Amino acid sequence: MKRALITGVTGQDGAYLSKFLLDKGYKVFGMYRRTANPNFWKLQTLNCLDKIHLIPADLSDASSILEAIRISEPDEIYNLAAQSFVEASFAQPLSTADITGLGLLRILEKVRQINPNIKVYQASTSELYGDGQKGLLNEDTPFAPSSPYASAKLFAYHTAKNYRRSYGIFVCNGILFNHESPLRSLEFVTRKITNSVAKIKLGLEKELKLGNLEAKRDWGYALDYIECMWLMLQQDEPDDYVIATGETHSVKEFAQEAFNVLGLNWEEYVKVDSKFIRPEDVMYLQGDYSKAKNKLGWEPKVKFKELVKMMVDEDYKKWQDCLAGKQFPWDAPYYVSDLNIISRTKRA
């Protein structure tokens, strides 16, 4: 039986990957960081919390990473843990660099020392490209990070390549473009929109405040992208791959489509609030996944409209169930509306 250690197991991708690997017969170990309140609703939703083995550890704490690797004795490590919210990286640049950047270095050092045969997947990102790009972006497009988050991920990207060349460690960068799902956290724009659309339809909210409506993203479905992480580690040689849909849409188009799903006109509800506009933003992302298609045999299955509908339908159903008194693991009722958060202001 193969053994996998997933860092960031409580996140969107960590939950889907846990289920994917359990279904493949893996023994799954999930590294989670200690929090004052429980944070397992995504794993519970997918019915796999009681099937994985949880190890408390933190990417900023090298000794806890050592323990996690010793306990799990993995064949494969999937490094999904990060401070993953770009906007927060402007407010917390140092901890973002520590976790999102140095975190991988701490893992690779332990792998090098304990068992250099462990294969490692690194969650790289399309944010590496930064602002000002045009056309389809691929593995050869130069990177120009536009946030502390992207700079930290660029450090990790090069660290992975360096450990591959210097020590022969099997480590792959998955340059994943934005991927979403009903398990996406509420601070990201897609789920923020779909959750609000559901609440507005049910009379629980009156408006939706957003920032930059013109930014374009290549949005795919998280579950489609999980398979790729695994495929990369099943190859004979480690390599880096772009994973995307090849389509791009603006935040405005996402909002328009999401309100459409429930028969609402987005223009009546969406307001722009400058507090959600970032000091620097990436205006355009569109990925070329030909290398993954040719070498891994991978293609995305879910495209834009289907993704938006899936997310709106799920949030709408859950709010209806919640109002009917049903109880289930879910984040939305406990979310502090970002309208109440005053620390986020546009920087000059």
Give catalytic residues, as residue numbers: 125, 127, 149
99 lines the binding site for ligand NAP (CB under 6 A): yes
Which residue sits closest to ligand NAP, CB atoms considered? Answer: 11
128 lines the binding site for ligand NAP (CB under 6 A): no
* Interacting span for ligand G4F (CB under 6 A) from 161-169, 189-197, 237-245, 298-306: 189-197
Is the alpha carbon torsion for 79, 61, 55, 75 positive or negative?
Answer: positive
Determine the Cα–Cα distance for residues 310 and 315; give it in Å rounded to an integer. 9
39 binds, among ligand G4F, ligand NAP, none (CB under 5 to 8 A by kind): ligand NAP
42 lines the binding site for ligand G4F (CB under 6 A): no
Determine the Cα–Cα distance for residues 101 and 106; give it in Å rounded to an integer. 10
* Interacting span for ligand NAP (CB under 6 A) from 9-17, 107-115, 137-145, 253-261: 9-17
125 lines the binding site for ligand G4F (CB under 6 A): yes
59 lines the binding site for ligand NAP (CB under 6 A): yes
Distances (CA, A) of 260 to 58, 156, 202, 213, 347: 42, 40, 15, 17, 33
Packing angle of the helix pair 251-261, 304-323 (nearest 10 deg): 50
Figure out which of the listed residues 58, 76, 127, 240 binds ligand G4F, where binding follows CB under 6 A.
127
Residue with tokens 């460690």: 169
Give me the DSSP letters along 49-106. GGGSEEEE--TT-HHHHHHHHHHH--SEEEE--S---HHHHHHSHHHHIIIIIIHHHH
14 lines the binding site for ligand NAP (CB under 6 A): yes
Determine the Cα–Cα distance for residues 280 and 287; give it in Å rounded to an integer. 21
For the CB of residue 70, give the shortest distance to ligand NAP in the complex, in Å.
17
Q: Which residues bind ligand G4F (CB under 6 A)?
A: 84, 86-87, 125-127, 177-178, 187-190, 192, 210-212, 215, 217, 251, 276, 278, 281, 285
